Amino acid sequence: MSQLFYGSINYDALLNAIKTGKVKTFKSASGVRLVNINVWVNDQPDKFDNDASIQVQLKDEFRSEKGDYIGNLRKHVKNEPQTVDAEIVTGEDDDLPF
């Protein structure tokens, strides 16, 4: 079964990481510029309830250094519909004129 994760990427941190020249980037055949990332999925949520983290992937010559974390993700949990016990009223003791 597939899982949905949602979150955000810190644009400023990503831009700063790219500007260092250490981040692995490339251009696709169609001309789209892309950044390689690593996604770390935790066994347990961290202290901020994040289930995963996003880190930039460094070029091979900088692999010994630590890549910048640029975002976090949380696992989507589907809300179960709540049922309400309703009392069924029968009889003709209402005030409606029809």
pLDDT digit string (tens) for the chain, length 98 residues? 788 999 999 999 999 999 999 999 999 999 999 999 999 999 999 999 999 999 999 999 998 998 899 999 999 988 877 777 767 666 666 666 66
What pLDDT shows up at residue 83?
74
Distance between CA atoms of 68 and 17, rounded to whole angstroms?
A: 7
What pLDDT shows up at residue 97?
67
This prediction has a pTM of 0.71
What pLDDT shows up at residue 80?
77
